[in-house]
Chains A and B, each alone.
Chain A
């Protein structure tokens, strides 16, 4: 069912274009601040922790664990699992857990990034590792 789902292409903007360019190469990028050392997601030009503008792109492993999730059962496009996953590099992010038995998703589960096509850059989702 998730294969059939159509996703809108990201609009993108000058601040985030590098993320989407890398996504087209299958690379999952995060931003890290060279001043305070903290990684963050989604990417910003100015660090949300120390407000430094010395943020740089870094390719992330794409490995993560499920922080929480909820299986939405009342949806016109079929059930789907929204989740927050915590990347190996630290930041947590919102996503969907896909391409698996959604009834078996659980907190603490190891997952990895998987890309879904759009008419533009692909979008990152996560699936059991």
Chain B
């Protein structure tokens, strides 16, 4: 059994807000749900599957009730929670459910307000007594990965900076991007050190907002008016210190989720025309490009340098919406926006200045949790049908 080609993304919506002190989190979920349903040309009553993660207030049933989903039709739900990559996993799970006949129109929502106020703490894991005192944050957890990557492979801050530079080149064309200014390698290196070796400009933005998508059957997608985009490969994986044996922070769970997705899709990294790669930090992108096989382990620094990720300039256009580094990182969870920009590219709806020509194959990949501590990863291969 495969999900290859069995589910289509028929509706997408990214909330234009980046700061929403005047809205509730549930309201943002409803606004992005409405946006995605309308983009698909469907109605709320068509939804018979609902997917949300830890950002949904109260979880699944309170959201189903708040949104007013048709409970006579709703027959499949999934609240898989893997941090920022939850929505990439939801896409794969929605395809599985659709292929199994468990639902036909799946709604996936993400929304929240970390810019307005602090997010609620996560529930403690079994490791809490042995780690919580040490102050792991996103910044220093990813900093530890970057530090070891530099040590093992000679990766430099200049190379990491090129990732931010490429994102900024794309963000200048996105009217909703939080940071629209084009920056240089020097700008990144001159920005304040936050957690060695990561500078402020190595870090993503913190934004309120959200996004949603509609995943559906081939038949329903073909009855609608949007260009056809389908999922042809999906992978998911998880990685942690696992008792502390052979610790290696220079690779992510993408080394497992990526090959699973590529194998199912029957394509290779060389075939990919556009890449949405989770960019919580510059190092996140560099490690994932290596792990997904776009270059060899340790050669990510050379791969990203000199504009290789800039659309129209380099070999692998990435995050053409400006990504999390410049445009949007709603709820500190970048997986949804990665899918949305990949769909825009495949539809030909990206900004003309960054639209990849004849974009018929794209990857959307992300991680959730802390790369240097415990994380999940998910890879989706999407195709223009």
Asked whether, in the complex, the Cβ of A38 is within 8 Å of the Cβ of B245, the reply is: yes
Asked whether, in the complex, the Cβ of B194 is within 8 Å of the Cβ of A94, the reply is: no
Which of B23-31, B112-120, B142-150 lies at the binding interface? B142-150
Binary per-residue interface labels of chain B (366-379) against chain A in the complex, 1 for a CB within 8 Å, 0 otherwise: 00000011000000
Give 7 closest A-B pairs by Cβ, nearest first.
A70-B143, A91-B244, A40-B243, A42-B130, A92-B247, A10-B129, A68-B148
List the A side residues contacting B129 at CB < 8 Å. 10-13, 16, 20, 42
Among B145, B148, B243, contact of A38 (Cβ-Cβ < 8 Å): B243
List the A side residues contacting B196 at CB < 8 Å. 69-71, 73
List the A side residues contacting B126 at CB < 8 Å. 42, 44
B133 interfacial by beta-carbon distance below 8 Å: yes
A82 interfacial by beta-carbon distance below 8 Å: yes
List the A side residues contacting B135 at CB < 8 Å. 72, 75, 80, 82, 96
Distance A101 CA – B92 CA, assembled complex (angstroms) = 48
B140 interfacial by beta-carbon distance below 8 Å: yes
B144 to chain A, nearest CB (A): 5
Q: Which of A1-15 touch B at CB < 8 Å?
A: 7-8, 10-13
Number of residues on chain B facing chain A (CB within 8 A): 38
B75 interfacial by beta-carbon distance below 8 Å: no
Distance A44 CA – B129 CA, assembled complex (angstroms) = 13
B193 to chain A, nearest CB (A): 6
Q: Which of A28-51 touch B at CB < 8 Å?
A: 38, 40-42, 44, 48-49
A10 to chain B, nearest CB (A): 4
Q: Which of B230-248 touch A at CB < 8 Å?
A: 241-245, 247
Among B194, B245, B249, B373, contact of A73 (Cβ-Cβ < 8 Å): B194
Beyond A13-B129, A68-B372, list 8 extra A-B contacts (CB 8 Å). A12-B129, A42-B127, A67-B247, A73-B193, A82-B134, A86-B247, A95-B134, A123-B133
Distance A121 CA – B195 CA, assembled complex (angstroms) = 29
